[in-house]
Amino acid sequence: MSQDIALVTDGNEFIRDEAKELAISAGYVPKLIFQVKRTGLGRMGISEGKAIELKAELAAQNIGKVLINGMLNAGQMFNLTSFLETEAIDRQKLILEIFAKRAITPEAKLQVRLAELKYQLPRVKENVRLSKKGEQPAGMFGSGRYDIDKYVMSIKEQINSLNKKIKAVSDRRSFQMKERLKVKGFVISLAGYTGSGKTTIFNRLTAETKPVTGRPFTTLSPTIRRLPGKEDIFISDTVGFIEGIPHYLVEAFKSTLAEITYADLVLLVTDVSVDQREFIRRYNASMKTFTEIGVSMDKVLVVENKYDISNPSLSEERMIRDGMARVKISAKTGYNMNVLMNMLEGFAHNR
């Protein structure tokens, strides 16, 4: 099911790790991490020298797909894939794939489709421009300019019609997530930044348990499981917050994340290995997002994860005195996981 990819990334360790987590969320296995100085420049979006090196690595390791952790324009994408003779996607396409995998509600699915079209439109237009200048064959559109213009028109029409449909579904949001998921019981959702440790916590809490079976369920969401020994408590790993998400993707993100509004308890997983300023910035951004999608604060439990590598600059007074319930854990070492588990059971029984 998972496909090997080569992850081409610029920047530091943090950027690289985040890209790795994102690739994994989308179902890829980053088999090769290929570091470059910059992405997005030149005719291929990476330097000629690097492209040659990459092509050799792809062949040597038998990797059939490339992920560029940056943004390439249509021309660069065309030049790069032609040169590598390998399919390539950029970061925004990757994010779209993650949302498409996670979108459950009709509204989220429409929002993701809309974002996909908005991603496509400027790229198609750029292809038109380049082919008119004769810089690039219009191959993908077949017989020429008339077809291309029709294609652009059709994307615009689809965008209009999706906008209308989205308005209609969000006007009647009577939709019940639990019904859709066929879950009867207490549902806990994990939310937080990519890399904060959601999946590690999910795996630890559900160790030994298999994904919940039953066809409609499994196909809808592979990331929801029963807690071991607890017939009626479910936990779900949700789409993570992503840094620097382009404006046109925000609605798709929010409506995909909105599945947590149907949860009985939301665990906000925070990473205490970052410094004070970064911690507070992410914390406030998370709370803002919760407010925007309609998660009420009384069902949020703040999980301070990575306590084993807690940043010394992060003082105890970081605790913004907002009265939120909190627990310190390390999903890696297992520290306080039993305390967390007891808290979850407590919440479930006092619901």
Ligand X SMILES: Nc1nc2c(ncn2[C@@H]2O[C@H](COP(=O)(O)OP(=O)(O)O)[C@@H](O)[C@H]2O)c(=O)[nH]1
Site residues, ligand X (CB under 6 A): 21, 192, 194-200, 240, 305-306, 308-309, 330-332
**Closest CB 120 distance from ligand X, rounded Å:** 27
**Closest CB 163 distance from ligand X, rounded Å:** 31
Q: Looking at beta carbons only, is 114 or 331 nearer to ligand X?
A: 331
CA angle 316-320-326, nearest 5°? 75
Residue 318: name its binding partner from ligand X, Mg ion, none (Cβ under 5 to 8 Å by kind): none
**Closest CB 29 distance from ligand X, rounded Å:** 14
Cα separation, 325 vs 321, in Å, equals 11
Cα separation, 115 vs 311, in Å, equals 37
Q: Looking at beta carbons only, is 265 or 268 nearer to ligand X?
A: 268
Cα separation, 166 vs 110, in Å, equals 6
Alpha-carbon torsion 94, 251, 287, 180, what sign? negative
Binding site for Mg ion (CB under 5 A): 198-199
Residue 326: name its binding partner from ligand X, Mg ion, none (Cβ under 5 to 8 Å by kind): none
Residue 195: name its binding partner from Mg ion, ligand X, none (Cβ under 5 to 8 Å by kind): ligand X
Q: Looking at beta carbons only, is 80 or 268 nearer to Mg ion?
A: 268
| 87: β partners | 65
**Closest CB 191 distance from ligand X, rounded Å:** 9
Residue 331: name its binding partner from Mg ion, ligand X, none (Cβ under 5 to 8 Å by kind): ligand X
Which amino acid is located at 298 in the chain?
Answer: D
Residue 75: name its binding partner from ligand X, Mg ion, none (Cβ under 5 to 8 Å by kind): none
Q: Looking at beta carbons only, is 75 or 197 nearer to ligand X?
A: 197
Q: Do residues 179 and 113 touch, judged by C-beta distance below 8 A? A: no
**Closest CB 91 distance from ligand X, rounded Å:** 16
**Closest CB 332 distance from ligand X, rounded Å:** 3
Cα separation, 63 vs 31, in Å, equals 8
Token pair for residue 22?
């994102």
Q: Is 248 exposed, middle or buried (0-12, 13-18, 19+ CB in 10 A)?
A: middle
**Closest CB 97 distance from ligand X, rounded Å:** 15
Token pair for residue 327?
């627990």
Position of minimal CB gap to Mg ion: 199
Residue 101: name its binding partner from ligand X, Mg ion, none (Cβ under 5 to 8 Å by kind): none
Q: Do residues 99 and 253 touch, judged by C-beta distance below 8 A? A: yes
Q: Looking at beta carbons only, is 199 or 255 nearer to Mg ion?
A: 199
Place of tokens 């949860």: 263
Q: Looking at beta carbons only, is 93 or 198 nearer to Mg ion?
A: 198
Q: Looking at beta carbons only, is 20 or 198 nearer to Mg ion?
A: 198
Q: Is 8 exposed, middle or buried (0-12, 13-18, 19+ CB in 10 A)?
A: buried
Q: Do residues 315 and 279 touch, judged by C-beta distance below 8 A? A: no
